[in-house]
Structures are given as structure tokens and as C-alpha cells.
Amino acid sequence: MSDPMKIRASLVGDSTEVKVLMSHEMETGQRKDAQGQTIPAWFIQNVVVTHNGKTVLAAQWGTAVAKNPFLSFKFKGGAKGDKVTISWTDNRGDKRTDEAVIA
Amino acid sequence: MIDRRRRTVLQSGGSATLLGLLAATGWLKPGEARAEAWNKGAFDSHSMPDAMKALGGTDSVVPSKDIVFFQTPEIAENGAVVPIGITSNIPKTESIAILIEKNPNLLAAVFDLPGGTEPTVSTRVKMAQTSNIYALVKADGKYYVATKEVKVTLGGCGG
Amino acid sequence: MFARAVFALAAAAIAPAAIAQGSTADEIAKYRAALREGNPAELWQARGEALWREKRGPKHVTLEGCDLGLGPGIVKGAYAQLPRYFADADRVMDLETRLVWCMVKLQGYTESDAKRNVFGSGNDKKSDLEALTAYITSESRGVPMKVPLSHAKEMEAYRVGEKLFFFRGGTHDFACATCHGEEGKRIRLQDLPNLMTAEGAQKAYTTWPAYRVSQGELRTFEWRLYDCFRQQRFPELAFGSEAAIALTMYLARNANGAPYDGPAIKR
């Protein structure tokens, strides 16, 4: 079970700024362990962010996104108290959804 | 056709011809289920010609000064975490993609930006070595690119 | 400053295409500044706070009764006054040894269980101590360092730490001071802090623990000392040993006055 994401959603003018820190190994599949075996790739492939049911960002990621990924972006609208929901799915089929309230 | 492009790619390094060959579609059309599709071919690309083929598209890519890198350092102390910020000032920007020229896999990330979402993203990538970063923008069905070299003092893929 | 300017001139003479040392340092400073936001250390902080409040161990008790020096359960500002003498243990302890003490005394763990996996590795081998340290230290952010030096054992720890700092040994005859005892020293592109000056000691000490990008992990001051010993080709520095605590005492006390600024993020 992965650790919860740390999400900050705040109003900046008439936009909502979303910053999220995710807990994920983002293993490239390039590394080898002490026995010389390749450590399999394990990484977030899809990220979806919604606000009031509307998708505000959809991302496809590869192994080159850094471990414990950080993402920041802005969308127009949003009001204090609204929920922003972030979901990720990784190449093992693991999923995680967390939400935050716009402050 | 493909052979000619391949030769040109291998010869030209960072020239305009290379950029011209960086074609990109492969982003989802509006209305398609965004959440689960993952462009395996594009992400598995190990070279510019492969990435181009997988991302599809035959449009040429126009270098643009309206794509700006921000909070992207000239030198990364460690290639495992390199901050990249990209803003597109091109109207009707639909997506922003990050490609890293000298990485084992070229394509790092693709961000679809629905209407109402600002054309700016900030994230962190891994770089295997000093390399050009390409910020590839799809706007109003056309493709644009900006390039920035980031020097890496310690590569970040192999541990 | 002068050393840097001299190097820049020399570099320019030898390799006209090379970046002058000064601007390289500026660019690296920009890299570090860009990383400050979205520090993965926050993930360890969150996990550490959960561990602090969770009923665990054979006695099924939280750590909220643990006295870090300011009274049972008082976390805010505690790290800025560590290491310190604890009467109940009759010894000087740093944060990590104090956490082990509380895990043993309050929660009923054996010492070896409490010290299992002190340095985490990936998703499968997480370190509870690193998470707890990240949480406790985050509650001292902004608080001026105020390590006490009043008890006889505190003073002894400081003196021993100072001696260790200058002690030359290992296969390379290194001491801490070899790398950290002079201005302008560098390993490749890494500027080495001069721990002999207040400014150097403050900047160095107040930024641990830190998310260490090259490790992909949150690393504590115990780890920093352990890794220095390894790089000096010294015998292994045992976790929570007298030597580790003494060196921590020496360096933490030398950082007094500066606001604590962790957990940070480093390359």
C-alpha cells in the first residue's frame, strides 16, 4: 500500500494552483540488484486530476519521471472548499486516489 | 521515406532538420477515455526515429520562442531529480510533452490540458546524462518545440 | 571567495571552454532553490507523524508520552535543543537514540527491534526511525538552535566530539577536519562546508535530515556521520554510539543561534 499523496490546492487570483507530491519508486527497469538481476520497471503511467467531476489534467508518464514525483499546474476557476481529486495508476495496475480541498 | 529521415536524424544532431522530424500525435482526441490509455510505443522509444514513428503524425514541428522553460536549471547536481517547468504562450495549447534526447527512453511525460487549464506544467525528471530537453507543444492541431540543454553532473538512471 | 576566483582564472587559462567556477556555483544554487518546493521529505514527515500517534509495540502504546527534552509529548522546538543529557537514561542522547529509548521504554520494543532498518531502502525496507526523525525535526523548523552545554556529560560529549573531529585515522589518514576544516574545499562540484566556522557549521547542521536525491531517501544526521566514516575508510560508525552522539553534540552546538531549517533536500 502506497503512502498518501501530499496535495496542496490554493486559489491564486481566479485560478486554482495544484501542487502534488506522490510517493512512488518510479523504478526505471535499468537498475540491477546486488545479484546482478535487473530490478523490474515500476512506475506511474497515468495521472488524472478532476475538479467538480471535470478532468483538469490528464498525464501519461514514463520511467523518466523522478522518484516520488512532484507535479504543479493551474486551472481557471475553483472556489474555496471545492474538492480536487487526483488519481494515479501504475504499470502493475496499482491505483491510488487522494483528494484535497481548495484553500 | 523513413530511411531518408533516419539518415538525416543520425547526421544532424540538434539541427532544425532533427526538430522537423519530431512529429507528434498520439495524444488522445477529446472525448476518448483519457484515464487508462498509455502510449506504449511512444514511451518505449529508444531513439528519435522510433519516437517519431510511435507518436505518429507527419506534421513538421516548428521551433517556437513562445514555449518557455522556467525553474529549469542549467546544471543539475544529480540527474535523478531535475526540475523542469514549461509554459506555452501559444494560443489553444492542448498538450505539453517532455522528451529527453540522451535518455534510454526518449519520452518522459505527456500532459493533456483540457480547456480551462493553464498551459503550464512543472515536474521533475530523471536524466541519464547532459542532454537537450525538448518541450513539445500541440496547439490547435499543430506542433511546436523549444529546446534547452541541461548539464548533469551525476547521471540519474542507473543508481 | 578568493580561492574560487583564483580557480576561475586558472580554469580559464587551461580550458577556455570550461565554465568559471563562480557561475557553476550560481547555477547549482538555482538547482537547489528549484528543488525546495515539493520536497519528498514531506512524505516521510507524514508517515512519521502517523507513527508517533499510532499505538504500537508489545505495550500497544503511542509515542506521544515520549520526552524529547522539553517534557513528555512536547515536539515543537525539541530538535533545536538536541543532543542533551537525559536524567532517566543518565546519558547524553541525540534525537535518534532518544526515539529508540522511548520505543523501548514506552512501547516495549527490544532495542534490536527498534533499531531494525535504521537506514531505509526503497518501498520494501522503510525505516521507522527516519520517518519519526523527519516528523520531529519538521516541528523545529525556524526555531533557533539552542543546544545546551550545562551538564557535565554534555560538556564531556562536546569535548570528545571535538577530539573526534580532528582525529586522523583509517587507511587515508583522514580526519573530519581534512575535508571540513578549511575554506574553499571541494570534491568534484560539491563545495565542502567549513565546519570550523559558525556560518559553515550552522548551514551544514541545520539542513539535516534531508531528502537525499542521490539516495532517493530521507537521510538523517546519524546517516550523514555514518556515511562520512565510510568515505573516510574508517571502521563503521555504529548507530547511536557514543562516538556518533559526541560528534553530533560538537557539530550541533557549533550551530547554535541559527534557525533550524529542516528537513531539507540535497542532491
pLDDT at B55: 62
pLDDT in tens, B78-124: 999 999 999 999 999 999 999 999 998 899 999 999 999 999 999 99
pLDDT in tens, C110-149: 999 999 999 999 888 999 999 999 999 999 999 999 999 9
C28 close contact with B: CB closer than 8 A: yes
pLDDT in tens, A59-91: 999 999 999 999 999 999 999 999 999 999 999
C22 close contact with B: CB closer than 8 A: no
DSSP state of A32: B
Looking at the partner chain, which of C31, C38, C190 has a beta carbon nearest the beta carbon of B76? Answer: C31
- Interhelix angle C242-254/C221-231, rounded to 10 degrees, is 110
B155 pLDDT tier (thresholds 50, 70, 90):
low
Task: Return the CATH fold of B2-152.
Answer: Immunoglobulin-like (2.60.40)
Mean per-residue pLDDT of chain B:
77
Distance from CA of B26 to the nearest CA of C (A): 30
Distance from CA of A53 to the nearest CA of C (A): 26
pLDDT at C191: 83
pLDDT at B75: 94
B48 pLDDT tier (thresholds 50, 70, 90):
low
Q: State the Cα–Cα distance between residues A43 and A62, nearest whole angstrom.
A: 7
Mean per-residue pLDDT of chain A:
95
pLDDT at C123: 87
pLDDT at C165: 97
- pLDDT above 60 (res B22): no
Looking at the partner chain, which of A3, A19, A70 has a beta carbon nearest the beta carbon of C47? Answer: A3
- pLDDT above 80 (res C2): no
C228 an active-site residue?
yes
**Cβ-based neighbours of C150, under 8 Å, separated by 6 or more:** none
pLDDT in tens, A16-31: 999 999 999 999 998 9
Lowest mean pLDDT, pick from A14-28, A54-68, C23-37, C49-63? C23-37
- Nearest chain A residue to B123 by CA distance is A71
Mean pLDDT across the stretch B43-62? 68
B153 close contact with C: CB closer than 8 A: yes
Cell numbers placing C48? 512519521
pLDDT at B12: 39
Looking at the partner chain, which of A6, A19, A72 has a beta carbon nearest the beta carbon of C43? Answer: A6
pLDDT at C18: 43
Task: Return the CATH fold of A6-101.
Answer: Immunoglobulin-like (2.60.40)
Q: State the Cα–Cα distance between residues A72 and A8, nearest whole angstrom.
A: 9
Q: State the Cα–Cα distance between residues C48 and C186, nearest whole angstrom.
A: 34
Mean pLDDT across the stretch B64-74? 96
B44 pLDDT tier (thresholds 50, 70, 90):
confident
Mean pLDDT across the stretch B128-144? 91
Pick the most confident of B21-30, B40-49, C126-135.
C126-135
Chains near B, with 3+ CB pairs < 8 A?
A, C
Q: How do the domains of chain C map onto residue ranges?
A: 2-35, 41-266
Q: How do the domains of chain A map onto residue ranges?
A: 6-101
Q: State the Cα–Cα distance between residues B34 and A57, nearest whole angstrom.
A: 10
Kindly report each contact of residues C189-196 with a partner whose C-beta sits within 8 Å and lies 24 or more positions away, as own/partner. C189/B77, C189/B153, C189/C24, C189/C28, C190/B77, C190/C267, C191/C25, C195/C165, C195/C251, C195/C254
pLDDT at C7: 42
With CB atoms and an 8 Å threshold, state whether C216 touches B74.
no
Of all residues in chain C, what percent carry a pLDDT higher than 90? Answer: 82
**CATH architecture under which domain C41-266 falls:** Orthogonal Bundle (1.10)
Query: Could you tell me the CA-to-CA distances from C115 to B143, C65, C110, C127 in Å, in that order?
Result: 55, 20, 9, 9
Q: How do the domains of chain B map onto residue ranges?
A: 2-152
B143 pLDDT tier (thresholds 50, 70, 90):
confident
Distance from CA of B133 to the nearest CA of A (A): 12
Query: Could you tell me the CA-to-CA distances from C227 to A26, C68, C159, C188, C221 in Å, in that order?
Result: 25, 25, 22, 17, 10
What does pTM read for this prediction? 0.85
Asked if the peptide bond before residue B119 counts as cis, ω within 30 degrees of 0, the response is: no
pLDDT at B5: 45
pLDDT in tens, C95-115: 999 999 999 999 999 999 999
**Cβ-based neighbours of A97, under 8 Å, separated by 6 or more:** A85, A86, A87
With CB atoms and an 8 Å threshold, state whether C47 touches A72.
no
Mean pLDDT across the stretch B41-59? 69
pLDDT at C219: 97
DSSP states of B64-111: -TTEEEES--SEES-TTSEEEEEEE-STTEEEEEEEETTSSSSEEEEE
Query: Could you tell me the CA-to-CA distances from C15 to A8, C10, C12 in Å, in that order?
Result: 46, 8, 5
Q: State the Cα–Cα distance between residues C119 and C34, nearest whole angstrom.
A: 26
Mean pLDDT across the stretch C203-213? 96
With CB atoms and an 8 Å threshold, state whether C28 touches B154.
no
Catalytic residue among C102, C176, C179, C228: C228
Distance from CA of B10 to the nearest CA of A (A): 23
| Residue at grid coordinates 498538450 | B95
pLDDT at B31: 38
Better pLDDT: B13 or C197: C197
With CB atoms and an 8 Å threshold, state whether B78 touches C213.
yes
